[in-house]
Amino acid sequence: MDNGPAFSRKKSWARFKLFIPQSVNKKIRTTLTGLLALYITIPCMAKTEVDTTSTHTHTIEEIEVSARRISKSITSATSTQQMDRQTISALAVQNAAEAIRHFAGTTVKDYGGIGGLKTVSVRGLGATHTAVSYDDVVLGNCQAGQTDLGRFSSGQLSAISLHIGQDDNLLGTARALASGSLVKMSSLHQLPQEKKRHIEAAVRVGSFGYLNSSIHYVRSISKRTLLSLTSDLSTAHGRYPYLQDYGNTQNKEERTNTDVYQFAQECGIRHHIDSTSYIDGKIYYYNAERGLPGAVILYNNNSKERLIDKNFFAQAKYTKQWNHKWQLRSIAKYTYGYNHYTDTNVKYSNGKYSEMFDQEEYYTQATLLYRPKTEWQLSIAQDGYINTLQSDLPHFAYPLRYTSLTALQAQYKNARLTLHGILLNTAIHESVQKGKKLNDICRLSPTFSISVHPFTIPLYLRMMYKNTFRVPTFNELYYQASGNKGLRPERAHEYTMGITWQWQPDGILKNFTLTADGYFNNVTDKIVAFPTTYVWKMANYGRVHITGLDATIGAQLEPNQHIGIDFGVNYTLQQAIDITDPTAPNYRLQLPYTPRHSGSGRILLSTPWLNVGYSTIAASSRHSSSDKSLRYHLKGYMEHTLTLSRIFNIKQTELVLQADAINFTNAQYEIIQYYPMPGRQFRVSLTFKL
């Protein structure tokens, strides 16, 4: 096989081992390093008044001032949904993808199983239009253009949020503004108040051989420096039963080749240089080996596809604030990714197929924020990154991509009005060693949002327009026979209009929130897999109109000082139609895998004796193809989950015991056709906090 002049498997893998040691026989071989984060706490102190005419000192009594804060999801000029660590645990969320399923407007593509690929599409735009950031730095994947959210365990997350349009933070990166929506994940990096160190360890066991262990350790090593470490390990054989329809009969089958082993470790540091500046450093490593169960078709449940996935990054982030007016943030990051896919099958000449990919990214960024007046904020962000992809495939192109993003932002905000404007310039140059390359790109993308607070009550009206485009991925351009080097960027115009309201009465009902957003997305030059005589080819063929409504309701009740109730409901109505060709049979029909109705709900009850959580996720029927015949029909589903937890305090130690019943009604359904999802499963976890 011709590996090409720029790729050597031995050389590339040797370089990778300089950073990360391999695991042998699936035993962890890691060294504890640390993640630094400084958590500054300012204790509340009584105010002392000195009478200069007397030698006595008079102490004024401490006064506790409390006020109810308006949620960011209400005041934001764009749609914002968020979930904290407590809610993540109460909903029995296993990873970031499961958390995203509880947000309105999202569609998670899940190929089934504990280790199956999980990507998110927001408001029908596709996973490649959604950016994913981890601790404010966007995760890059030039090969596939999308991030597997299943690799981020709930044990690694302190919070997760979804921002449709853009985040209101003007100190953010230009890269975060370049996509139609942004998923923000935050790691565990803070120290609880009045503690010099904190340990949180958890063990979770469950159905289908599931075992997860995680540990988070953080300590203050000086007044200015905080060190922490997080490790997370998951394994499972993943063999779960499912019901398979065979015409007039229904057989009970078992999913095979579904085993998974994944390990993640992150270490970092936050050092407070002085009162106006600090630096964050982080090292992250992820290693996974899994079976790919494949599609279940015509009694065939046999798959021998395997995937090894390794990812490493090191980043540093510096923040400086000179005064109230000027603030700077800069980032430097290196990312390395390795994928090895194998398939054993008699259809191959030597009985086995293998392909390997190496990708690297060098990323640097700086944002300068200026506040000329209290109401005004201005910022400029400059991002630059270089992506490379190498493979052992014959005649590979070996692409090298240079990307420059420049974002100018302006925001005006007072008690009644918020205006936010963005102008983003994207410049891309690409080179290849073999074949034709992507044409150079230089484009401007504007965004404008407005939020109006017309009355004294917390009711807001908001509107947004966002123009984005996404560049074809390396796979779409150069992946063997299906790639198309002449692809144009896929363009999207997003229009949103909504209303938000928050009510905070003084009775049992403490808080009530309501949001409703209507939207219209116009996608042109949509990149689709288009069939030709012998193989599928990527082509700019599609034009799509997406119209929808996202609505959320939330409430917090306190019947007494010991009992709390958290209630929430999300609903999405979406019509995503293909308007490419009026003569085509699928003209103005719903796009594949797009349910017209979807939603989620939750009720969380907290008491001194027991905490109870109930959640449900539902979607209406849909089709897996533009052909709307019964053959491609996927029935709707509703999945129910119940959690019970109890907190035990033993001296300075807190123990949390939790039991989860996931899909306890044993609903049989598929998100991707021929990839059945797990039925009823149980999980028990014990968390130790010191």
pLDDT tens sequence across 458-491: 999 999 999 999 999 888 888 766 677 788 899 9
d(CA 116, CA 106): 18
- Quote the pLDDT of residue 284: 96
pLDDT tens sequence across 410-426: 999 999 999 999 999 99
More reliable by pLDDT, 23 or 487:
487
d(CA 398, CA 389): 6
594 neighbors 574 (Cβ within 8 angstroms): yes
Render the burial of 388-403: b for 16+ CB within 10 Å, e for the rest. Answer: bbbbbbeebbbbbbeb
- Rounded mean pLDDT, 647-666: 93
Q: How far, rounded to the nearest angstrom, does the alpha carbon of residue 476 sit from its chain's CA centroid?
A: 22
Minimal CA–CA distance to 263: which of 152, 160, 339? Answer: 152
For residue 161, what are the CA distances in angstroms to 43, 154, 185, 395, 564?
Answer: 29, 13, 7, 42, 23
β-sheet bridge partners, residue 306:
291, 342
- Quote the pLDDT of residue 519: 97
Half-sphere exposure of 449 (CA within 13 A, CB side): 28
d(CA 461, CA 514): 12
d(CA 602, CA 97): 17
Q: How far, rounded to the nearest angstrom, does the alpha carbon of residue 354 sit from its chain's CA centroid?
A: 29
Lowest model confidence (mean pLDDT) among 3-17, 150-164, 357-371, 587-601: 3-17
Burial class of residue 168, CB neighbours in 10 A (0-12, 13-18, 19+): buried
Question: How many other C-beta atoms lie within 10 A of the C-beta of residue 557?
Answer: 16
Question: How many other C-beta atoms lie within 10 A of the C-beta of residue 344?
Answer: 13
Minimal CA–CA distance to 416: which of 375, 379, 378? Answer: 375
Length of the chain: 690
More reliable by pLDDT, 638 or 256:
638
pLDDT tens sequence across 324-345: 899 999 999 999 999 999 999 8
d(CA 160, CA 133): 10
- Quote the pLDDT of residue 32: 30
- Quote the pLDDT of residue 54: 42
Specify the residue for token string 């010191």.
Answer: 690
d(CA 243, CA 252): 5
Using DSSP's 3-state secondary structure scheme, residue 589 falls into coil
- Quote the pLDDT of residue 109: 81
Residue 251 is encoded by which pair of tokens? 């057989």
Q: How far, rounded to the nearest angstrom, does the alpha carbon of residue 664 sit from its chain's CA centroid?
A: 26
**pLDDT confidence tier of residue 18, bands split at 50, 70 and 90:** very low
**Residue-by-residue DSSP string for 96-141:** HHHHHTTSTTEEEEE-SSTTS-EEEEETTS-GGGEEEEETTEEPP-
- Quote the pLDDT of residue 24: 35
pLDDT tens sequence across 198-246: 999 999 999 999 999 999 999 999 889 999 999 999 999 989 998 877 6
Render the burial of 176-189: b for 16+ CB within 10 Å, e for the rest. Answer: bbbbbbbbbbbbbb
Please provide residue 42's backbone torsions phi and psi, each rounded to the nearest 5 degrees: -115, 105
Lowest model confidence (mean pLDDT) among 187-196, 423-432, 612-621: 187-196
**pLDDT confidence tier of residue 72, bands split at 50, 70 and 90:** confident
Minimal CA–CA distance to 604: which of 564, 638, 658? Answer: 564
Minimal CA–CA distance to 359: which of 15, 18, 23? Answer: 15
β-sheet bridge partners, residue 649:
654
User: Vertex 572, ends 569 and 573: CA angle to 5°?
Assistant: 140
Mean pLDDT estimate for the chain: 85
Radius of gyration in angstroms for the set of CA atoms belonging to the chain, rounded to a whole number: 26
**pLDDT confidence tier of residue 1, bands split at 50, 70 and 90:** very low
- Rounded mean pLDDT, 240-256: 80
d(CA 576, CA 599): 17
Torsion 129-135-137-139 (CA) sign: negative
Burial class of residue 322, CB neighbours in 10 A (0-12, 13-18, 19+): exposed
d(CA 149, CA 120): 8
**pLDDT confidence tier of residue 299, bands split at 50, 70 and 90:** low
